[in-house]
Each structure stands twice: as C-alpha cells, then as structure tokens.
Structure 1
C-alpha cells in the first residue's frame, strides 16, 4: 500500500472565461483534498485572468505568453511538488469523489504508474455515479494502450517523477501530444483503469483534437514510438493501428467534401492492413468524387 500520496492538479487555461471557474470549483469540492491547484494562464486575451484573481489564495497561478497546451502543462509540472499529477482541462470538470477514488486505486495497486477513468458529456450521467456500485480497477497492458491510446487527459492521474523522466509533453506536436505521453508511460509501467464515470468532458467545436492535422500527428507519434526498444513487440499490430488512423482520417476528409484527398490515404491503409472496411470506403470515396466532385 502507498499511503499519504499527495496530488498536484494542473489546469491549463486559454481564453477560458466561460468555464474556468466551474473547473476550479470542481477541484475545490473534492472529497480528497489536492495538495496544490496549479492554473497556467496560457496568454488568454479574455477575462480569464480576472476570474482567476478571485482564487489566488487557493491556487498557484502562472501566467505565460501563449505557447499551447503542452507548454502550459509542462509549466505546471515544473513547479509541482506532489507525488502525483492530475490534469484537468479548463472546459472539463470532475465528480466530487474523482481524486479520492483514484487515490484509492493507486494505493491498492502499487504496480500502477498512472490510472485513468471513464468520462461523459452528460451532466446526469456524471451525477448518477454517486450511487453506482461495482467499482472495479483494471490493469491495461501496453498492447491495450497502443491499440486505444485515446484517454481523456482530464481523467489521468500519473506519478510526477515518471512524467519528469519521459521529458514531459512534446511542445513540437500541435496535437497527439497526449498520445505520445501515454505511450511513453505505458512502456515504463502499468497503467490502470478505474471503471467509473468521474469526469465531464466538454466537446468543443474546432478543438485541436478535431483538426485534420491530428491524424498526421497521431501517425508520427506511432512511428516514433516504434523506434524505441519497448515498442518492438508491438510491431506486429502496428500496421492495423496505423490503418485504423488513416481510415478515420479518410472518413473525415470525405465528410468534409474532400474525397480526392481521401483516396491516397485509403490506399495506404489498404497496403498496411487490407480489410473490407477499407475497400468499401475507397469505393464510397470514388463514387463521391464522380457524382459530387471535390473542392
């Protein structure tokens, strides 16, 4: 058992005046008290700083020129002093028992280096977890994380020393920086899963994760990870994973009315991992190109 674990909460905020207060209040309302709440104002041009000024007695406040979410998280990690780091995006918020349950999970599973929870986009679903029973903790192997690395960052609790050892978030990546971190963490130890909805995740239109560059960044992260020694045993399933990313990329292009751009991406996916789904998508892209055209 690992008793008396401490937690630093890091909240990056950029033009977050509409939701930053709700995020902070959800941390202050935790049944397990965080040792530090570190809010990094990433060059906001709205009233974010004014709102945060009302919480300076309860948060560690950092202000920097706009440099992106990775730089903001790294700035928070660099001043954190706790055993564990919990991330919370400014437009998300937590169930009151989120930290308590994850601390329990980490204490009962000392082989975990990090853990994450389920999330939702529905307030009623988040509230209903107060009466849920059957809480379970599950090990996630590196293969499972490699196949499905799309963890919601606001659900993640991770050992601070491990984050420091991997070099933090890669500020060169516009997107997929979180996937890069999860791969690195999984290669160094077991990631655990807390099977309960404990985070409300807000879907923001035109967020970085919805940009087309996220697919290319995802593929770059996969290729880069495969060059590391811990990833060699994953090479057999890598073509399937890369093909899946490409097909999702192609579907997005087709939906945006760009079937011509989608076709070579689908062909690449077929060369990596032939499948009926890829052939069907190629057929649809060609039909759309013929009958609708491409911008």
Structure 2
C-alpha cells in the first residue's frame, strides 16, 4: 500500500472492526488501508470468523503500525478475536463477526470494514466530522470505486428511513454510532444469505429517531472488491427472501411508508426492465442464446410492462413487424 504519512493523526473516539473469513491477502490490504488513514482509528479489531487458514489473519496482525514501527501505544493497536465454531462450516456469519468486534470496542464511533474491501486514505477524515457535527446522522460513508471483475463508481445516496425501505442506500463500509448499534440490538445474526447491512441500516435509522438519516459523502472513499457471483436470478431470489424477513422485522416502518415504498420498488423494477430491453435491442443475439429472453418474448408477462417491452424489442428487430391474429 505504500508508506504511511508521518503527520498521521489519531482519532481517539474511533475503533475499526474488520471481519475476516477466507479473503486471503485481501485481509492484509484491508488492515493496511485502515492503518494508512490520514486520521487513523485508535484501535483496530480483526474478527476471525472461523477462517480455515490463519496465515493471512496473522499477516494482517503484523502489518506495520507506524512509518517507523514504534512500540508503545501502537503495539496493541491491532487486536484479534476468534469466534467459536458454532456451525458445521466453522463460520458464524458476518453479522456475528461484526457484533463480536463492536462489543469489544469502547469508543463512541465504529468503522466497519469487510476483509477484502479497502478504505481510501481520507475515509475517517471525511466521515467523522459528519457525525460530530449533526447528531441526527446515525452513520456515514462515501462513494465506492469498484475493483476486481467490475471497474466502475457506485454512488449510494444515503437518506432517511423512508429512503432505505425499498433498497439499501449505504455501503457496508461505514462509520456508525456505537450507542445506536447497541440500542437496536446489533446486526441480525440470523440473516445468513446476505442483505444484513440493509436490515441493520433500517434498524439504525429507527433507533436514531424521526429525524435520523445516513449521510453518504459525495467523494470516493471506499475501494469495493467485486468477485464473480451467483446468477442474477439467484441473487433476486435471495433478495426477495431477505426483503420478506426485513418487512417482518420492521413492519411498523413499512406500514407507515407503504405508498412511497411501493412506488419506489415499482420504479426500480421499471428501470431494470428498460435496461434489459436496451440490452436486447443492442445485442439481438440474446434472443438466441438466453433461455429466459426467448421464453419472455414468447410469453411476455402481463400487468407489469412486459408486453409493452416485448413490443418495443420486436419493433426494433424488424422494420415493420406485424403478425396476423389467429
């Protein structure tokens, strides 16, 4: 990562919690990104969530703590916690890992980071004043620069409780208030299929009161590692199951914002349909090679814009298509 600046300041009110489970050398890079902050957390807690290979965890714990590796206060800067193996796969889940790390912290602000992701050098410097200056801000983060299989910039928008009910609007890497983490009962450890950040952010906003919001600084502050994942169909099935669990746990909030949530979800679905429609028009070979696309064009869905999308796609493929009625 390079040498750390000698003028580095310490944030005495911030602890970083980095979760680790099979990220390989990415964990070392994550810890180094915290140590390389222009305003560095006073303590880093690395939570080893049942890693099969401890080598990279041990390497992360020996990352240089200052430009000259002084002893003294920095000698205990990095702390490791190893979770008990409560499941057959020797893994307790990221929610349990985060909760275990945050429980050990004694600072009012917690910087949460997944092993493999990296903070850009000014993350703490840019987000900490946001929480200092406005008690209604329950958490803060920044824009994401993707690396790995995707090269792009992701722009979460943050917002109020109503903004978070249809979708998550804050990265998992964020700076949050420890007191509100405790008030809302931590991360939901039963959510093992993902989307635990979404549920947690909703709970954090509920705990923060009617004026609570999550702020996303309009600046690149996080490097997000992207990996080959599951198919889009599998992802959406998992998201639907997660949304059901989230609604069940936060039923009062969804009931209070049912109209805005339904409209926002419908708008998101419409956006995805238009993007898919554009892709098929630009790449007509999808009609031959995509089973789902062929099925859709042969049997368009009704009542959700599906028929209209199929008409536009077919019109783009043919100069003046017309099929007689049977």
TM-score by length of 1: 0.73
Q: Residue 186 of structure 1 corresponds to which residue in structure 2? A: 205
SS in 1 for 2:102: helix
Of 95, 105, 110, the residue aligned with 2:130 is 105
1:25 is matched with which residue?
A: 32
Partners of 1:180 and 1:17 lie apart in 2 by 28
Aligned to 2:309: 280
Does the 8 Å contact 1:10/1:73 carry over to 2? Answer: yes
Given that residues 5 and 83 in structure 1 are in contact (C-alpha distance below 8 angstroms), is that contact kept between their aligned partners in structure 2? no
Give per-residue Cα distances to partners, 1:211-262, cap 9 Å, x unaligned.
454322332144225512x44331112334455677869x8xx998557999
Kindly provide the CA deviation profile for residues 100-148 of structure 1, in whole angstroms up to 9, marking residues without a partner as x: 111122222232121221111159xx9xxxxxxxxxxx97222223344
What is the aligned-residue RMSD (CA, Å)? 3.6
Q: Which moved more, 1:209-218 or 1:162-171?
A: 209-218
Q: How does 1:242-257 map to 2 (within 5 A)?
A: 242-243=265-266, 257=291
233 and 204 in structure 1: CA distance in 2 versus 1, 3 angstrom threshold: same
CA distance in 1, matches of 2:38, 2:220: 16
Residue in structure 1 matched with residue 241 of structure 2 by the alignment: 217
The DSSP-based 3-state class of the residue aligned with 2:144 is strand
Does the 8 Å CA contact 1:226/1:234 hold for their aligned counterparts? no
Structure 2 CA distance for aligned equivalents of residues 165 and 246 of structure 1: 34
What is the CA distance between 1:281 and its match in structure 2? 7.1
Find the residue that maps to 2:130 and give its secondary structure. helix
Larger radius of gyration: 2
2:222 aligned residue (193, 199, 212): 199
Structure 1 unaligned spans of 5+: 127-137, 285-295
| Aligned partners of 1:139 and 1:192 also within 8 Å | yes
- Count of paired positions: 256
